Structure 1
Amino acid sequence: MISIANALMAEITTAAEAAYPDECCGLLSGFGEADKTLTITGVHTSDNVTDGTARDRFEVDPKIRFDVMRELEGGPERIVGHYHSHPDHPAQPSEYDLKMAFEPDLLWFIVAVDEGRATETTAHRVDADATAFHEIPITTDLKDPS
């Protein structure tokens, strides 16, 4: 199960709506394990630096990733996943997402954005041999992570 504060979920959906009709992207930090409870404590927005079309592809800026890794170094939190949006498509991993799933330990948060409005967010993890994604339930609460 994934636990995330409403305020952090709102950051993700706001970024997804702002990027429409392109895909947004960013990193998620937190602690715990997805097979028990993984708590998201940070949302780190990135420019979409894809070489392809940003309408159906995303790439997190490597500088953001290194900055977040340095920020979290030595503490209990780590990068636990990333998020991106699917403009005018469901919040389900695409074939391209599966092709790009190089790190099986990372979560994939996907936000469906229909006509500029976020409609659904799902969380997924790729299996060990990178042949399929498995959805993981998300719970939200009213507490601010600070």
Structure 2
Amino acid sequence: MIIVPGAVVEEIAAAAEAAYPEECCGLLIGRTDNEDSASDRIRVTRAVASRNVATEPRRDRFEVDPAVRFALMRELGEGPERIVGHYHSHPDHPAEPSARDAEMAFEPDLVWVIVSVAGGRVVDMRAHRPEPGGHRFRPVTFDASWRGPQSHAS
């Protein structure tokens, strides 16, 4: 289970709508309920947006800026919070992992939050975790006070 505050969900949704028709991306910061990084209960405390640095068409590709990730790793250090996952959007596609996502799934302890954006509006948001060995995902319960599809534009 991943628990995400409503304000963080709204921030992710707004980023997904703003990036449309390209994919947005960012990192999720939080903690697990125990010392096991593979714990099924993850509490997200904040999202950190990243520029999508994919060199291929960003309509169906994303890559978190490594500088953003390294800066966060330095900031978090040995504290209780860590990078627990990332998010990205799927313009005009479901909030399910794509074949491309499966190819990129090499960190089984990170949760993937995928946002479906249709016609510039968020219509769904789901969480997934790579299976050990990668290339397949399993759904993760997404506990958030998201109000569902609506305009998130400022």
TM-score (norm. length: structure 1)? 0.93
1:80 maps to 2:84: yes
For residue 29 of structure 1, what is the aligned residue in structure 2? 29
1:53 maps to 2:57: yes
Structure 1 position 129, deviation (Å): 1.5
Structure 1 position 141, deviation (Å): 4.5
Query: 76, 89, 99: which one pairs with 1:95?
Result: 99
Divergent runs of 4+, >2 A: 33-36
Which SS does the other structure have where 2:45 is aligned?
strand
Query: 82, 104, 108: which one pairs with 2:112?
Result: 108
Query: 15, 36, 42: which one pairs with 2:46?
Result: 42
Which SS does the other structure have where 2:16 is aligned?
helix
The answer for unaligned runs of 5 or more in structure 2 is 147-154
TM-score (norm. length: structure 2)? 0.88
Structure 1 position 48, deviation (Å): 0.3
> Aligned letter for 1:87?
P
State the alpha-carbon separation in 2 of the partners of residues 34 and 104 from structure 1. 8
Q: How many residues align?
A: 142
